[in-house]
Structures are given as C-alpha cells and as structure tokens.
Amino acid sequence: MFRGDGRAVVPISASMAADDDKRLAAEAAMAEVVDGMLVGLGTGSTAAHAIRALARRAGDGLRIDCVATSETSAALARGLGLSVRDFAAVASVDLTIDGADEIDGGCRAIKGAGGAMLREKCVAAASRRMVVIADGSKWVDRLGGAPVPVEVLPFAHSFVARVLEQRAMPVLRMVDKAPYLTDQRNVVLDCRFAGLDPAADATWLQSIPGVLGHGLFLSEVAAAYVAEHGNVTRLER
Ligand code: 5RP
C-alpha cells in the first residue's frame, strides 16, 4: 500500500492494534498495585501483558507475591522471576487483575474462553478487589454475544449437556479432536443462550449437579480498564 507521496505504508492489522490496546489496559491497571500486595494473576493474552508489566515493576524494586489462576500464567510469571504462591495455602488476595471475553458498563463480565474460569472465580472471590483489563472489542452494552463457558465434571457431561439444552446451545469444547480439559481435568461446555438473563441463568447454572463453575462474573469485578484505539477508559461498578 502506498501513500499519496509514494512512500510505502505498512497497514497495522486489527489484531496488532487490539494487542496494543490489551497492553495499554494492562499497564493502566498497574496504578492499582502497591508494594507488599499479594496479587492474583489472571489468564489469557491480556492478563499475560499484566504479568509482564508486574515483572518489570518487580525488576524496578516493587515487592509483591502472586497467586495464579492457571498453570500457564504461573509458568509465565515464574519464568519472569515473580514469586508465585500456591493458592491452596492462601485465604485472601489483595488485588486480582484479569481479562474478560465481555464486560458491560456495570462491570459484569463473561470469562473463560481460556478455560480458567473456575480458578479465576475462586481467586476473584478471595480477592479484596478484582479489576478487569480489556481491549475495546470486549466492551458490550449487553452480555451474551460471547458463549458462557461451563466447567463440567466429565462423569456427568452428557447429563449436564441435556439439561443445558433447556436454555442454551451447549457445545463440548474440543482441541486436537479430543475434549479440551481444564487445569482440573474437567471438560467445558460453551453455551450460547437464546436470550441471556445473566442473574437468573447464573443461578440456574449453579444449581445443576455436575456443573463445577461458569464464566458469568456478575459481582466480582470492581473496575475495568478498557483500551480502545490507544485511549483507556476506567469503568467503575
Ligand atoms: C480465561 C479468561 C480470559 O481472561 C479471557 O478469555 C480473555 O482472554 P484474552 O485476554 O486472551 O482475550 O477468562 O479463562
């Protein structure tokens, strides 16, 4: 592609721009991190930017401990020199920084495209404060465009899928022609709801035996940093 003056212009792809926005959102959330904190590390490409930003801050002298919401995030953080504690021995977290698949203006979110929603929900619940970081494509007027991931005990997955069909179209998540397994070795049913009623559907999902967790985060997120075209907006609950 050439400009009017004949000089070549390299088009920036939408995904590169989105990744820059993810990084910007992650860096904006660093303002929340204070010396001495125990920080919950989210999962996904946006959370990975936050982990790298935290590692840079730690390199500059910030003293923090972390817990991770997935084996992948734990490995990334440890590889960058961050101290990652075993969440099994942790009762309370100061601040968790995590991504989302959708976030609305009231800081309600759908999470779990990365399959970590059960650990993410546990760490969020243990956290005094949880903030979401996201690029602008995740900011929606109404939740429900993205599927709601549901983590299911493999033993019960056919039964759970039949129950979920009452309100949604569940699809067993696959990878390399085999069922995708979470870090807990459970399966995931990605559910498209005909018309998602977040509060009612969250309560319903939780009531189904065999459902271990789901990606609706309706009360956990205190604030969100959403970056769009290089500008960061902070949403407050
Ligand atoms: C993982 C998640 C992620 O935070 C969510 O899927 C967003 O991922 P990304 O930042 O890669 O778009 O919930 O379970």
- One DSSP character per residue, 165-227 reads TTTEEEEE-EETTEE---TTS-EEEEEEESS--HHHHHHHHHTSTTEEEESEESSS--EEEEE
pLDDT tens track, the chain, 237 positions: 344 444 444 445 778 899 999 999 999 999 999 999 999 999 999 999 999 999 999 999 999 999 999 999 999 999 999 999 999 999 999 999 999 999 999 999 999 999 999 999 999 999 999 999 999 999 999 999 999 999 999 999 999 999 999 999 999 999 999 999 999 999 999 999 989 999 999 999 999 999 999 999 999 999 999 999 999 999 999
In the chain, the amino acid numbered 126 is A
Q: What separation in Å is there between the alpha carbon of 134 and the centre of ligand 1?
A: 9
Nearest-CA residue for atom 10 of ligand 1: 46
Q: Is the predicted ipTM greater than 0.90, yes or no?
A: yes
State which of 19, 21, 24, 46 you would mutate to test the pocket of ligand 1, scoring each by most atoms of that ligand within 8 A of its C-beta. 46
Please check whether residues 65 and 178 belong to one and the same domain: no
Per-residue pLDDT at 8: 45
Is-contact 188 112, C-beta < 8 A? yes
Residues 105, 224: Cα–Cα separation, whole Å: 9
Residues 157, 148: Cα–Cα separation, whole Å: 16
Is-contact 116 226, C-beta < 8 A? no
Please check whether residues 123 and 175 belong to one and the same domain: no
Per-residue pLDDT at 151: 98
What's the CATH number where 160 sits? 3.30.70.260
Per-residue pLDDT at 12: 53
Please check whether residues 183 and 210 belong to one and the same domain: yes
Please check whether residues 173 and 195 belong to one and the same domain: yes
Please check whether residues 45 and 132 belong to one and the same domain: yes
Q: Does 1 fall in a domain?
A: no
Q: Does 2 fall in a domain?
A: no
Domain count, the chain: 2
Residue whose entry in the numeric block shows the structure tokens 């271990």? 212
Please check whether residues 135 and 206 belong to one and the same domain: no
What's the CATH number where 31 sits? 3.40.50.1360
State which of 41, 69, 111, 118 you would mutate to test the pocket of ligand 1, scoring each by most atoms of that ligand within 8 A of its C-beta. 111
Length of the chain: 237
Is-contact 47 63, C-beta < 8 A? no
Residue 175 CB contacts under 8 Å (≥ 6 apart), including other chains = none
Q: Does 110 fall in a domain?
A: yes
Q: Which domain holds residue 120?
A: 14-139+218-232
Half-sphere exposure of 72 (CA within 13 A, CB side): 13
Q: Does 188 fall in a domain?
A: yes
